[in-house]
Amino acid sequence: MSGGGARPRVLLRADAGPGAGAGHLVRSIALAEGFARAGAEPLLVTPGLPPGMARLVEGRRVRHVPVPGLAPDDPGPLAGLAGEDAALVVLDGYRLGPDAVAAARRAAPFVVALADGDAPAGVDAVVDHELCATPGRYPGVPLRLLGPRYALLREEFRDPPPRPLREPGPPLVLVTLGGSATGRLGRKVLDLLAAADRPFRARIVGNPWEETPAPRPGATPVSIEFLPPLPSLVEELSRASVALLAAGGTRFEAARCGCAMLLGVLADNQVDDARAFVAAGAARGLGRWDDLDPAEGGMLLRELLDRPDLRRELATRAAALVDGRGAERAARELLAAARSAAGRETR
């Protein structure tokens, strides 16, 4: 890092797309905004994004560098973007391994991984905001920022809209399965909603590259509205009675907005933290989405619809986990660590 009062440059390489979903992108955007609050200049490098995902970056304090055709294991043009003020590089992608770490180190002296159970060898720091994160996950990593204290939430979740004092009409159920599965599981979702056998409103958020099935006429007393992909769910989560989710990053957004959750697992790396949320009384668990019996899921949803007290209890415990400041907190600690490491190298 050079002196002279220049803003330190931070490069973030995030994977995204139909195979990777949107989770890496969203948490990298959140951390980039945290770096901007901490006085750094964040640059976000991604593959080329479909319009629905590109809108996630628009209008934010982040310079976005899309690279069409960038492979999931390719670090991209980090060295060319670094400049003399590059403080650190952040890598976020399951296939960004040791070669990507070596390339990142040619761009900046300090390399960070965003992770949820595994990190590439050779990084200087890891951020894992999962409730179940422990130091034992990352032996040998010098700096480990672990747990929901570092929940990587975007700017709008620092101070989300207040929840309504009372629900206007029937309960509202928000359904969003992240960036990769609403279309594939759409029929199962509709069957689950019908199995709840209660009057309520449902809003189902679509994905940028999947078609969401239309409801079957007369199949359910539910009023269903299908929404296009949204750049942020802060408004939706702040007024929903229940969020029907995959156990991805949206669980922290729902927690911050004080929304009761039903969590279903889509991938192996979601299993442990879904269990941790359930064990903490911060959510109800559906098990694996692919194995779920819609009738059983409908029973769990029915219980939440019938019991406002249980919804409040789950939401209160979830809200106590996150304060909306985790991205800035992580950014400041990472910048301080990078400065300290640079000082040791110059002595």
Least reliable range by pLDDT among 32-46, 117-131, 132-146, 159-173: 159-173
Phi, psi of 251 (to 5 degrees): -65, -35
CB 326 within 8 A of CB 218: no
Separation of first and last alpha carbons in the chain:
14
Sequence spans of domains, the chain: 9-155+324-346, 159-319
Beta bridge partners of 285: 263
> 225 by DSSP, 3-state: which?
strand
CATH of domain 159-319: 3.40.50.2000
CATH of domain 9-155+324-346: 3.40.50.11190
The pLDDT of residue 85 is above 90 = no
9-155+324-346 and 159-319 in the same fold: yes
Higher-scoring residue by pLDDT: 83, 287 = 287
Residue with tokens 């390489």: 13
- Digit-coded pLDDT (tens) for 88-122: 999 999 999 999 999 999 999 999 999 998 899 99
The pLDDT of residue 25 is above 50 = yes
What's the chain's average pLDDT?
90
Distance CA 148, CA 243 (A): 19
Identify how many contiguous H helices and E strands the chain contains and give both numbers. 11, 13
